[in-house]
Amino acid sequence: MQTHLQPNDPRTDFVAVEKFCKGLGLDIGPGTNKFSPTVLCTDWYQHEGVDLIWNMVHEGGRHPYPFRDNVFDFVFASHVIEDFAPDEIQWVFDELLRMVKPNGHLVILVPDMENLRYPDWDEVFTSEDEEVKTGKRQSGELKGNPSHRLTMGMKCMNGLVSNSKYKVEVVQADTFPHNQMTLDFIIQKK
């Protein structure tokens, strides 16, 4: 599988996990940053290249994807699961695993907030921050992404694995350089 990245493409994190993305794949919530043109793509609203519009958690209900169990060789979710509420996240994680074939992979990329590589969702600029002193930001303005609803990192990801109803093994975790804000977490379904 090739991600069709051009030289100097900022999505080097995709290249670092592409060895786990072979065969029939599903890309969850990519917006305009699709993993590969050869992968089935689903998002909760229409973007160019989205194959299926699906919102699996909305209006107080849970809506499983319309795919059989164990159908995909891999499911890829980059910067998606942190946008779900704490009471939804385990169900979302297990729903993604439900669709992965045995020995297939769930490839997750998340902002690493626990290790302070990415600002937490509720972190704000203060008068001591250089950005405020230079006038680029205002004190009290959010640093993090307000659509993030969970503080992501290894602790959160390991908790999802421990509480999963599926038997899985973590095959790669936190291998990106720490000057990147993203944490990689790859799970193999048994």
Mean pLDDT of 165-184: 92
Residues 6+ apart with CB under 8 A from 83: 29, 147, 148, 149
**Alpha helix ranges (H) inside the chain:** 12-17, 89-98, 130-133, 154-162
| pTM (2 d.p.) | 0.86
Residue 2 reports pLDDT greater than 50: no
Q: For residue 74, which of 41, 99, 110 has the smallest C-alpha distance?
A: 99
Q: Indicate the average pLDDT of the chain.
A: 89
pLDDT in tens, 34-76: 888 889 999 988 888 899 999 999 877 899 999 999 999 999 9
Residue 129 reports pLDDT greater than 50: yes
d(CA 173, CA 114) in angstroms, rounded, equals 14
Starting at the earlier edge strand, list the strands of the sheet with 52-53: 52-53, 40-43, 25-28, 72-78, 100-111, 182-189, 168-173
- Is there a contact between 105 and 189 (Cβ–Cβ < 8 Å)? yes
d(CA 43, CA 169) in angstroms, rounded, equals 27
Number of Cβ within a 10 Å radius of residue 58:
10
